[in-house]
Structure 1
Amino acid sequence: MSEDFYCEEVLSGKTPVNKVFETSDVLAFHHTRPFYPLHIVVIPKKHIASLIAIEDADSHILIELLDVIRQIASNVVSEYGACRVITNLGNYQDSKHLHWHIVFGSPKE
Protein backbone atom coordinates (compact mmCIF):
# COMPACT_ATOMS: atom_id res chain seq x y z
CA MET A 1 0.00 0.00 0.00
CA SER A 2 1.19 3.52 -0.73
CA GLU A 3 2.24 5.79 2.12
CA ASP A 4 -0.68 8.16 1.37
CA PHE A 5 -3.47 6.42 -0.52
CA TYR A 6 -5.77 9.42 -0.19
CA CYS A 7 -3.48 11.97 -1.87
CA GLU A 8 -1.91 9.55 -4.35
CA GLU A 9 -5.08 7.74 -5.42
CA VAL A 10 -8.33 9.36 -4.28
CA LEU A 11 -7.63 13.09 -4.47
CA SER A 12 -5.59 12.66 -7.66
CA GLY A 13 -8.58 10.93 -9.29
CA LYS A 14 -6.63 7.71 -10.05
CA THR A 15 -9.04 5.72 -7.86
CA PRO A 16 -12.68 6.73 -8.39
CA VAL A 17 -14.85 6.90 -5.27
CA ASN A 18 -18.56 7.02 -4.51
CA LYS A 19 -18.87 10.45 -2.88
CA VAL A 20 -21.16 10.96 0.10
CA PHE A 21 -20.42 14.66 0.74
CA GLU A 22 -17.91 17.23 -0.43
CA THR A 23 -16.87 20.76 0.49
CA SER A 24 -13.95 22.84 -0.72
CA ASP A 25 -11.73 21.33 2.03
CA VAL A 26 -13.29 17.96 2.88
CA LEU A 27 -14.29 14.80 1.00
CA ALA A 28 -16.47 11.97 2.35
CA PHE A 29 -16.91 8.77 0.36
CA HIS A 30 -17.73 5.10 0.65
CA HIS A 31 -14.59 3.09 1.48
CA THR A 32 -13.05 1.49 -1.61
CA ARG A 33 -12.61 -1.83 0.27
CA PRO A 34 -15.16 -1.65 3.11
CA PHE A 35 -14.54 -3.53 6.33
CA TYR A 36 -18.11 -2.92 7.57
CA PRO A 37 -21.55 -3.17 5.93
CA LEU A 38 -21.60 0.66 5.96
CA HIS A 39 -18.13 2.21 5.78
CA ILE A 40 -17.63 5.90 4.98
CA VAL A 41 -14.24 7.65 4.98
CA VAL A 42 -13.88 11.40 5.62
CA ILE A 43 -10.63 13.18 4.67
CA PRO A 44 -9.29 16.71 4.42
CA LYS A 45 -8.31 17.60 0.85
CA LYS A 46 -5.10 19.14 2.17
CA HIS A 47 -2.45 16.63 3.16
CA ILE A 48 -2.31 16.37 6.95
CA ALA A 49 -0.47 13.26 8.12
CA SER A 50 -2.63 12.47 11.17
CA LEU A 51 -4.69 13.89 14.01
CA ILE A 52 -1.55 14.63 16.01
CA ALA A 53 0.09 16.39 13.05
CA ILE A 54 -2.55 19.13 12.74
CA GLU A 55 -1.01 22.58 12.95
CA ASP A 56 -2.69 25.71 14.32
CA ALA A 57 -3.01 27.08 10.78
CA ASP A 58 -5.17 24.06 9.90
CA SER A 59 -7.71 24.52 12.70
CA HIS A 60 -10.37 25.76 10.24
CA ILE A 61 -9.97 22.52 8.27
CA LEU A 62 -10.35 20.46 11.44
CA ILE A 63 -13.54 22.33 12.34
CA GLU A 64 -14.96 21.74 8.85
CA LEU A 65 -13.87 18.10 8.95
CA LEU A 66 -15.59 17.53 12.29
CA ASP A 67 -18.73 19.28 11.06
CA VAL A 68 -18.92 16.96 8.04
CA ILE A 69 -18.30 13.94 10.30
CA ARG A 70 -21.05 15.16 12.65
CA GLN A 71 -23.55 15.54 9.80
CA ILE A 72 -22.83 12.14 8.28
CA ALA A 73 -22.76 10.37 11.66
CA SER A 74 -26.09 11.98 12.55
CA ASN A 75 -27.61 10.69 9.30
CA VAL A 76 -26.24 7.19 9.93
CA VAL A 77 -27.59 7.14 13.49
CA SER A 78 -30.98 8.33 12.23
CA GLU A 79 -31.08 5.56 9.62
CA TYR A 80 -29.40 2.67 11.46
CA GLY A 81 -29.65 3.58 15.15
CA ALA A 82 -25.90 3.68 15.81
CA CYS A 83 -22.45 4.17 14.32
CA ARG A 84 -18.78 4.32 15.22
CA VAL A 85 -16.46 7.21 14.37
CA ILE A 86 -12.85 6.04 14.27
CA THR A 87 -9.42 7.46 13.48
CA ASN A 88 -6.12 5.64 13.79
CA LEU A 89 -2.63 6.79 14.73
CA GLY A 90 0.91 5.44 14.46
CA ASN A 91 1.23 1.85 13.29
CA TYR A 92 -2.57 1.49 13.29
CA GLN A 93 -2.78 4.11 10.53
CA ASP A 94 -2.28 2.39 7.16
CA SER A 95 -2.44 5.57 5.07
CA LYS A 96 -0.48 8.50 6.47
CA HIS A 97 -3.22 11.03 5.70
CA LEU A 98 -5.69 12.15 8.36
CA HIS A 99 -8.90 10.23 7.85
CA TRP A 100 -11.92 9.19 9.86
CA HIS A 101 -14.09 6.12 9.41
CA ILE A 102 -17.84 6.31 10.02
CA VAL A 103 -19.02 2.72 10.26
CA PHE A 104 -22.06 0.67 11.12
CA GLY A 105 -22.33 -3.05 11.72
CA SER A 106 -19.85 -5.80 12.50
CA PRO A 107 -16.56 -6.03 10.62
CA LYS A 108 -16.71 -8.21 7.52
CA GLU A 109 -14.72 -11.42 7.61
Structure 2
Amino acid sequence: MNVINDFYCQEVLSGKTEVQIVKETENVLAYYHTKPFYPIHIVAIPKKHISSLITLDDTDHDLLLELMLVIKEVAQKVTEDHDSCKVITNLGNNQESKHLHWHVVSGKALG
Protein backbone atom coordinates (compact mmCIF):
# COMPACT_ATOMS: atom_id res chain seq x y z
CA MET A 1 0.00 0.00 0.00
CA ASN A 2 1.36 3.38 -0.98
CA VAL A 3 0.57 5.67 1.96
CA ILE A 4 1.17 9.36 1.43
CA ASN A 5 2.12 11.61 4.36
CA ASP A 6 1.48 9.10 7.13
CA PHE A 7 3.99 9.78 9.89
CA TYR A 8 2.35 7.18 12.12
CA CYS A 9 2.73 4.22 9.76
CA GLN A 10 5.98 5.37 8.14
CA GLU A 11 7.80 6.40 11.31
CA VAL A 12 6.14 5.40 14.60
CA LEU A 13 4.59 2.01 13.87
CA SER A 14 7.56 1.00 11.71
CA GLY A 15 9.91 1.71 14.62
CA LYS A 16 11.97 4.29 12.68
CA THR A 17 11.03 6.96 15.20
CA GLU A 18 11.23 5.99 18.86
CA VAL A 19 8.42 7.17 21.10
CA GLN A 20 7.72 7.27 24.82
CA ILE A 21 4.72 4.98 25.25
CA VAL A 22 1.90 6.01 27.58
CA LYS A 23 -0.45 3.08 26.88
CA GLU A 24 -0.40 0.23 24.39
CA THR A 25 -2.95 -2.45 23.58
CA GLU A 26 -3.06 -5.02 20.82
CA ASN A 27 -4.54 -2.50 18.38
CA VAL A 28 -3.83 0.96 19.82
CA LEU A 29 -0.76 2.98 20.74
CA ALA A 30 -0.72 6.15 22.88
CA TYR A 31 2.56 8.00 23.28
CA TYR A 32 4.04 11.42 23.99
CA HIS A 33 4.07 13.57 20.85
CA THR A 34 7.53 13.78 19.27
CA LYS A 35 7.13 17.54 18.63
CA PRO A 36 4.63 18.69 21.26
CA PHE A 37 2.45 21.76 20.81
CA TYR A 38 1.38 21.68 24.49
CA PRO A 39 3.23 21.01 27.77
CA ILE A 40 1.34 17.70 27.98
CA HIS A 41 0.77 16.28 24.49
CA ILE A 42 -0.12 12.64 23.95
CA VAL A 43 -1.16 11.07 20.65
CA ALA A 44 -3.37 7.98 20.39
CA ILE A 45 -3.47 6.01 17.14
CA PRO A 46 -4.83 2.72 15.84
CA LYS A 47 -2.09 0.33 14.76
CA LYS A 48 -4.13 -0.38 11.62
CA HIS A 49 -3.95 2.28 8.93
CA ILE A 50 -7.17 4.26 8.83
CA SER A 51 -6.79 7.56 7.06
CA SER A 52 -9.36 9.59 9.02
CA LEU A 53 -12.30 9.52 11.39
CA ILE A 54 -14.61 10.08 8.44
CA THR A 55 -13.19 7.14 6.49
CA LEU A 56 -13.84 4.50 9.16
CA ASP A 57 -15.54 1.37 7.84
CA ASP A 58 -18.40 -0.42 9.58
CA THR A 59 -15.88 -3.21 10.22
CA ASP A 60 -13.78 -0.83 12.35
CA HIS A 61 -16.30 -0.39 15.19
CA ASP A 62 -14.44 -2.66 17.63
CA LEU A 63 -11.16 -0.91 16.86
CA LEU A 64 -12.76 2.50 17.34
CA LEU A 65 -14.17 1.39 20.69
CA GLU A 66 -10.73 0.14 21.79
CA LEU A 67 -9.17 3.43 20.66
CA MET A 68 -11.76 5.47 22.54
CA LEU A 69 -11.24 3.41 25.71
CA VAL A 70 -7.49 4.13 25.55
CA ILE A 71 -8.20 7.83 24.94
CA LYS A 72 -10.60 7.85 27.90
CA GLU A 73 -7.99 6.27 30.19
CA VAL A 74 -5.24 8.64 29.06
CA ALA A 75 -7.53 11.69 29.32
CA GLN A 76 -8.63 10.65 32.80
CA LYS A 77 -5.02 10.37 33.98
CA VAL A 78 -4.01 13.70 32.41
CA THR A 79 -7.05 15.38 34.00
CA GLU A 80 -6.21 13.89 37.41
CA ASP A 81 -2.59 15.05 37.13
CA HIS A 82 -3.15 18.47 35.51
CA ASP A 83 -6.77 19.43 36.37
CA SER A 84 -7.96 19.47 32.75
CA CYS A 85 -7.30 18.35 29.20
CA LYS A 86 -8.58 18.59 25.65
CA VAL A 87 -9.17 15.67 23.30
CA ILE A 88 -8.75 16.71 19.68
CA THR A 89 -8.82 15.11 16.24
CA ASN A 90 -8.29 16.98 12.99
CA LEU A 91 -10.02 16.39 9.65
CA GLY A 92 -9.57 17.50 6.07
CA ASN A 93 -6.82 20.00 5.41
CA ASN A 94 -6.24 20.37 9.17
CA GLN A 95 -5.15 16.73 9.32
CA GLU A 96 -1.46 16.91 8.49
CA SER A 97 -0.78 13.17 8.78
CA LYS A 98 -3.35 11.07 6.97
CA HIS A 99 -3.71 8.46 9.73
CA LEU A 100 -6.53 8.58 12.26
CA HIS A 101 -5.12 10.07 15.46
CA TRP A 102 -6.31 11.89 18.55
CA HIS A 103 -4.42 14.38 20.68
CA VAL A 104 -4.83 14.47 24.45
CA VAL A 105 -3.37 17.80 25.54
CA SER A 106 -3.11 19.97 28.63
CA GLY A 107 -1.76 23.45 29.27
CA LYS A 108 -1.37 26.49 27.06
CA ALA A 109 -0.14 25.94 23.52
CA LEU A 110 3.63 26.29 23.21
CA GLY A 111 5.22 28.93 21.02
User: What TM-score do you get using the length of structure 1 for normalisation?
Assistant: 0.98
Q: How many correspondences in the alignment?
A: 108
Give the structure 2 partner of residue 59 of structure 1. 61
Give the structure 2 partner of residue 79 of structure 1. 81
1:26-57 deviation digits (Å, cap 9, x = unpaired): 00000000000000000000000000010010
| Superposition misfits of 4+ residues, deviation over 4 angstroms | none
Q: Which ranges in structure 1 are unaligned for 5 or more consecutive residues?
A: none
Secondary structure of residue in 2 paired with 1:34: coil
The 1-side partners of 2:17 and 2:27 are apart by 19
AA in 1 matched with 2:78: V
The 2-side partners of 1:81 and 1:46 are apart by 32
The 1-side partners of 2:72 and 2:19 are apart by 21
The 1-side partners of 2:81 and 2:32 are apart by 16
Secondary structure of residue in 1 paired with 2:72: helix
Per-residue deviation, 1:97: 0.0
* 1:48 aligns with one of 47, 50, 53: 50
Q: Which ranges in structure 2 are unaligned for 5 or more consecutive residues?
A: none
Structure 1 vs Structure 2: percent identity of aligned residues?
58
User: What TM-score do you get using the length of structure 2 for normalisation?
Assistant: 0.96
AA in 1 matched with 2:62: H
The 1-side partners of 2:33 and 2:81 are apart by 19
